[in-house]
Structure 1
Amino acid sequence: MRSFSLFKNTLLFSLILMTSCGISSKSLKNSANSADYEDPVTDVRAAIKTGADNYEQYLPLLKGKRTGIVTNQTGIIKYIAKDEDTIRTINIVDFLYTVQTENGEINITKIFAPEHGFRGTADAGELIKDGRDTKTGLPIISLYDNNKKPKPEHLQDIDIMVFDLQDVGVRFYTYISSLHYVMEACAENNIPLIVLDRPNPNGRIIDGPILEPEFQSFVGMHPIPVLHGMTIGEYARMINGQNWLVNGEQCNLTVIPCSNYKRTMQYNLPVKPSPNLPNSQAIKLYPSLCFFEGTDVSVGRGTNMQFQIYGAPFLPDDGFSFTPAPNEGAKSPKHNGVTCYGEDLTDVRRVKKLELKWLLKAYNDTNDKANFFTPFFTKLAGTKLLQQQIESGMSESEIRRTWEDGLDAFKEMRRQYLIYPE
């Protein structure tokens, strides 16, 4: 283990200072610049070591192995480089590549990138082409569009796979779908998989309708609620344990857990997980507001307040408006160039559940209700029932009562896969 000792005791814990997005105006007309990641609340990042930070547990497993890495801009490590005193962050690819070049005992062969690409700048649903990382020269394989599952030819020069993506704990956030397909490909090709675990910023909440199997899609692959309350490592254990891989295949799975992490901790992400989740507020509101993606209402794509506002040209003018325009992550935003009226939710605090009140309000304020929903809404909901309940005039409390049995059953099933205390 002499070669690995160069990195021993290099990972330190520090609270990373983030940049405020600096929004103050209630009107967002002509606002199209992407926000920097905002982290206004002191949290527990200083005390937590992610799975990636716990490198002493997985570097020995990679020794002498041809290694593939599934990651993007969220796969970061806090460390002090050799002969330096400054704490800085580095991508997991750069970290492992440094180990490889310094010691020659790891052989990284390929990077696999999920939706939004390796650098995390592409639109949702945008075609990402394969290419090469400009820094390391490593080939990059896109795991999106028609190539969601690694093909056997992609895996021929891989002995072991590392998975390091920051999830947000929501069923329709597609990183857990990528996890499924990577696990399936690894199982079929007898390749061990190491998942480097990270905290779930929505980890305290389990809520929403359970997905019904007939509505399975890339934005919902498993019979779970919208908010599942698990880390991505715990979720990988569930995929294996519930035999959700094709033909009941089992992935040779190792989860490198976080240290000093409890699910009740408030955890704000050090980098934005995708272009349209620019800060902690957006991540908190995303599970509730994403339902608008299955309607003709904008969630602020094409502004710098994505998933913190909603509006449409046909909603009442109650004093708040914005005009979407192309920006990073939204090259052709909904209602591009058209003034939208709605609500500013940037000051909403203490979101403790999946909120339906904004969706219900927008629907009730809409004159043309027959054209409010699109077919994508059913994919997001994972059931036709939610749209039917809203159209029939059910209240939020009445709708929520219909979720109770499914949530109780899920919580019981979920318990056996947990790594961290409730």
Structure 2
Amino acid sequence: MVQLGIDRLLLTAWDWKARRIGFVTNNAAVTSNFEASRKALIRNGFNVVRLFSPEHGLDTTGPDGHFMGNTMDNLTGLPVVSLYGEKLAPDQKDFEDLDIILIDLPDIGSRFYTYLWTLTYVLEAGARYGKKLIVLDRPNPISGNLLLAEGPMLDEVNAASFIGRWAIPVRHSCTIGELSYYFNIERKIGCDLQVVTCTGWRRHMFHPDWSESFVPASPAINTFETALLYPCLCFLEATNISEGRGTAVPFRVAGAPWINAGELANIFNDNIKTAVVAREVDFVPEVGRYAGNSCKGIMLHVTDRYQFHAVKTGLLLIKLIMDTYKGRFEWAPYKTLVNGKGENHLTLLLGQLDAEDFFKLPFEGFKEELDSYVSNGNWRERVEPILLYED
């Protein structure tokens, strides 16, 4: 049985429970019994006085990349300071009357999922304003198996952004608690940091190994399969191909009105024969790219999650579509609050300068270079000192 950080916190008698607590969280942060973490804290006598929310807002329903304002929490009656609106980081006024900052956010294991980067801004604010931070850890839903970690490593000089501030792989295979320690040490942040670890979790485990029910982390990350495929199909955001936003299966499908579904499914299955299968589908997005239009394409089904290399698969899919539909495929901008013009989105997703140039290689050369391109370098060695869980 896996106990989450929030579960273990609630079972411990802390001498600071009555002090003024700020809590960085959202609706996807729940106990093992699916009670909202913030409600459980207050019910158990923790003096939470202010909430902070990441992208998508406290209720996790805000559209991707949209401004989220400050609000009041209907569940607790507490004020909520948005960290994806007027500012990305807490300021001195937010922290000056607080004694302890708790953080409980559900990361999904991919570098471009922004809750992790909200955490980094809170770490820096904690150091700047002299506040103790306590991170309530959660398992990585797509496992902590470092053999499945995939790059490229982010180029901080040329490709840093709010979907990747610092040099980690695309699929990092760490927990949010482990990365808290890693950043605090590696970046010399100097925050007074504590992580309340999980128990019962091992690095090889995926979400279905410890829970039958996946709590949606945001509007488009609504199932475990979606989280597993997110580091595969999120790159489609930088193209004129729909990744399924506005459907019941976001980040599980890929299509466009001009694609031949059967043709693409056959090409995919002929070239990618391990751990994943494509089947032809039609879908109509309600919002986003091609809203209201019938898209033809494929749905991916992971047949062996222990062998599935998401990033490599996603990049190879784009190359297959690009070469098959020359003249129709295009790179496209992706506008968000933190990238108002949506420029260079592939560079920011991959964390590599001029990322589109890699796809100009002939197909056979692309395949030969792909393993090297998605290498995570010496990531295992770099994080080994801060790993909190066994293989």
Task: Please indicate, yes or no, whether the TM-score normalized by the shorter chain is above 0.5.
Answer: yes
Distance 2:154 2:85 in 1: 22
Residue number in structure 1 paired with 2:284: 323
Distance 2:249 2:76 in 1: 34
Equivalent position to 1:416, from 367, 381, 385:
385
Distance 1:322 1:237 in 2: 42
- Structure 1 residues 97 and 56: alpha-carbon distance in aligned structure 2, compared to 1, 3 A threshold: closer
Residue number in structure 2 paired with 1:304: 248
Distance 1:322 1:150 in 2: 41
Equivalent position to 2:21, from 67, 77, 84:
67
The answer to whether the Cα contact below 8 Å between 1:125 and 1:145 also exists between their aligned partners in 2 is no
The answer to whether the Cα contact below 8 Å between 2:25 and 2:103 also exists between their aligned partners in 1 is yes
Equivalent position to 1:341, from 292, 296, 305:
296
Distance 2:347 2:249 in 1: 25
Distance 2:383 2:186 in 1: 10
Q: Are 1:396 and 2:362 an aligned pair?
A: no
The answer to whether the Cα contact below 8 Å between 2:2 and 2:201 also exists between their aligned partners in 1 is yes
**1:267-310 Cα distance to aligned partner (Å, 9 max, x none):** 23630111101111111111010011111111101110111101
Task: Give unpaired runs (5+ residues) of structure 2.
Answer: 263-279, 334-343
Residue number in structure 2 paired with 1:96: 41
Distance 2:390 2:16 in 1: 29
Describe how 1:139-150 pairs up with structure 2 within 5 A.
Answer: 139-150=79-90
Q: Are 1:207 and 2:176 an aligned pair?
A: no
Residue number in structure 2 paired with 1:226: 170
Residue number in structure 1 paired with 2:326: 367
Residue number in structure 2 paired with 1:159: 99
Q: Are 1:262 and 2:202 an aligned pair?
A: yes
How far has the Cα of 1:334 moved from its partner? 1.2
Q: Are 1:384 and 2:353 an aligned pair?
A: yes
How far has the Cα of 1:368 moved from its partner? 2.5
SS at structure 2 position matched to 1:52: helix
The answer to whether the Cα contact below 8 Å between 1:320 and 1:343 also exists between their aligned partners in 2 is yes
SS at structure 2 position matched to 1:176: helix
**1:5-53 Cα distance to aligned partner (Å, 9 max, x none):** xxxxxxxxxxxxxxxxxxxxxxxxxxxxxxxxxxxxxxxxxx1001111
- Structure 1 residues 273 and 61: alpha-carbon distance in aligned structure 2, compared to 1, 3 A threshold: farther
Q: Are 1:136 and 2:76 an aligned pair?
A: yes
- Structure 1 residues 249 and 398: alpha-carbon distance in aligned structure 2, compared to 1, 3 A threshold: closer
Distance 2:374 2:15 in 1: 42
Distance 1:347 1:402 in 2: 22
Distance 1:75 1:59 in 2: 21
Moved more, 268-277 or 127-136: 268-277
TM-score by length of structure 2 reads: 0.85
Distance 2:246 2:195 in 1: 37
Q: Which of structure 1's runs of 4+ aligned residues deviate more than 3 A?
A: 56-59, 346-349
How far has the Cα of 1:401 moved from its partner? 1.9
Residue identity matched to 1:53: D
TM-score by length of structure 1 reads: 0.79
**1:231-285 Cα distance to aligned partner (Å, 9 max, x none):** 0000000101101xxxx43111000000011011122363011110111111111
Q: How many residues align?
A: 350
Q: Identical aligned pairs, as a percentage?
A: 31
Q: Are 1:53 and 2:1 an aligned pair?
A: no
Equivalent position to 1:273, from 200, 213, 217:
217
RMSD of aligned Cα (Å): 1.8
Residue identity matched to 1:342: G
Moved more, 255-264 or 204-213: 204-213
Structure with a larger share of its residues in helix: 2
How far has the Cα of 1:58 moved from its partner? 5.7
How far has the Cα of 1:57 moved from its partner? 6.5
SS at structure 1 position matched to 2:291: coil
Residue identity matched to 1:212: D
